[in-house]
Amino acid sequence: EFKNEAIRLWKNSAHFYLKRLEDLTALALEQTRIVSDSDPASLRETVRLDSDRDSGLALWKEVVFNFDREMAQFKSRLPIYSHKGRILEAVRNHCVVILTASTGSGKSTQLPQYLLDDVLGSSCTGNRRIAVLQPRRVNAIALAARVSSERNGEVGGEVGYRLGRGEAMVSDETRVEFMTHGLFVQLARDSSRLLRFYSAVILDEAHERSVEVDISLALLRNALQRVGDADYKEKETPFKVIVMSATISQEQVQTFRSHLCTSDAITGAVLDLPGCTFPVRIVYRGDLQPDPKVIGSGGVGSILGDYATEMALDLLESTSCGHILVFMPGESSIERAMRSSLLLMKKHIEKTGGANKAAKNWYDMFGFGGDDKQSSEEDIQVDFKTMGFSVNIIVDESKNAHPDSGMLKAEKSKMKMRVGFYPFHGKLMAADRDRILKPRDDRLVIFATNIAETGLTIPNIRYVIDTGLERRVTFNPDTGVSQMVTVPISQSSMNQRAGRAGRIASGVCIRLYSE
């Protein structure tokens, strides 16, 4: 449907501007032939025709650019593109749109572009922009970089980000701003200021409820109420609120709608967009769950982290394709898992052989670089909270041969494979994230915190191991202060994590807890 629409728009616009450009060029050439130096009026007319021709050429370039971008969105094959028409119609006709779409559908990167190109148009001129609220700083930065790249620009140009503590990459040309809820709360306290500077606000990952998210919703409600007032002077200026999530329930959807649409003048639409995710088989391992009353929540996190590490390496050895994503409680458990993986991979190489077997020391074996004299585990000085490692191993493809492939059980197909082990959390620099989002390794084992649940989708994930835990700031009424503790995840987070395994093919999610 949208491919045909894009082609129709292209033909109509192309024919119009090309014909106008040809006419202007012909007129300009004709005027040039009859112009003499003593005829100022003819010279002025020639200058005017040249100016019109330049304007036509600029419009022509804009049409070509828009068509190329539309085709790029079509070729990306993101599930949300097939519903673009429904989304645009809902946003044009309603003040509030609540959208649910499966994880990995492309809503975080594509919807801001749809609004900018097809709905708001010239209403975003000047200082009026689109704000996209993200629950975490790293998501805002990464998404701004991705959208800028898709639009052939640089971060801080047409697309940028704005965070707390004065950290920002924006300019006078910026029209889409990715930001955290904390900063938005500061900007939106004054409804007049919010309406003056922003045409739309997209609240992404709405299922991640927090105090800042609730305050953001309250401030958006105040802004919408002002738009709905009869004495609002700028009725022709649109202000849109879009709430997005992959896992919110129908009850939550109705709660959001009733909270934001407080009058007949503020209309709302609900879109539940089916995705094209593949089936994910869920495996529960509640037998591995220790008793938190005996060892505490931190002890549970350490034990489950060790189980998850061993399970990831077992999957690496027993399967031949697809990346492995392991959800750990926090950064300390990630560092512990990375060091354990280093030890276990060294033993694996020494046992089975591989391209790294002849290495003189740990640094050579895992590509860290360093002094040849350092050869023991104790000598390894690597910050595994930010640095990963890669290793070449030999795998037996026959272990994963399909029954109909014709490969005999006794037949052994050996191949060399480069495997990368990387941490993934909110404190990583952009270059460290790119090693995961744009990998050079054949397979990846990624130890991540809950930031991998949302935002940019890590490509080619086939296996997810979920410890069912996360580190979260909670208020302790006994001490009167907030503290970081290890707590079980919510049902929506469980669904988000499992969905990461079914993005490109059928996958498996192993949950280290009972059903």
Of 20, 43, 75, the residue that ends a domain is 75
Of 24, 54, 75, the residue that ends a domain is 75
* pLDDT, greater one: 447 or 56: 447
* Whether residue 252 has pLDDT greater than 70: yes
269 and 415 together in one domain: no
What is residue 399's predicted lDDT score, i.e. its pLDDT?
A: 52
94 and 160 together in one domain: yes
What is residue 25's predicted lDDT score, i.e. its pLDDT?
A: 63
Number of domains making up the chain = 3
Q: Mind giving me the DSSP string for 423-459?
A: EE-TT--HHHHHHHHS--SSEEEEEE-GGGGSSSPPT
Of 75, 96, 111, the residue that ends a domain is 75
List, edge to edge, every strand of the sheet that includes 129-134.
168-169, 159-162, 176-180, 129-134, 198-203, 240-245, 96-101, 268-273
H helical segments located in 117-210: 137-150, 181-187, 191-197
Domain boundaries, position 121: 79-273
Predicted confidence band at 405 (pLDDT cuts at 50, 70, 90)? very low
Conformational region of residue 254, where left means phi above 0, alpha means psi within -120 to 50, and beta covers everything else: alpha
141 and 20 together in one domain: no
Contact indicator for 287, 416 with CB cutoff of 8 Å? no
* Whether residue 406 has pLDDT greater than 50: no
312 and 442 together in one domain: yes
* Whether residue 370 has pLDDT greater than 50: no
User: Using one digit for the tens of pLDDT, what is the confidence trace for 453-481?
Assistant: 877 778 889 999 999 999 888 877 888 78
384 and 436 together in one domain: yes
Is residue 74 classed exposed, middle or buried when 0-12, 13-18 and 19+ CB atoms within 10 A define those classes?
middle
255 and 358 together in one domain: no
165 and 310 together in one domain: no
355 and 430 together in one domain: yes
266 and 328 together in one domain: no
pLDDT above 90 covers a percentage of the chain that reads 25
Conformational region of residue 249, where left means phi above 0, alpha means psi within -120 to 50, and beta covers everything else: beta
162 and 244 together in one domain: yes
Q: What is the CATH number of the domain that holds 363?
A: 3.40.50.300
User: Using one digit for the tens of pLDDT, what is the confidence trace for 114-126?
Assistant: 998 876 665 554 5
User: Using one digit for the tens of pLDDT, what is the confidence trace for 136-188?
Assistant: 888 899 899 989 988 889 999 999 999 877 889 999 899 999 999 989 999 99
331 and 398 together in one domain: yes
What is residue 35's predicted lDDT score, i.e. its pLDDT?
A: 52
71 and 90 together in one domain: no
* Whether residue 101 has pLDDT greater than 50: yes
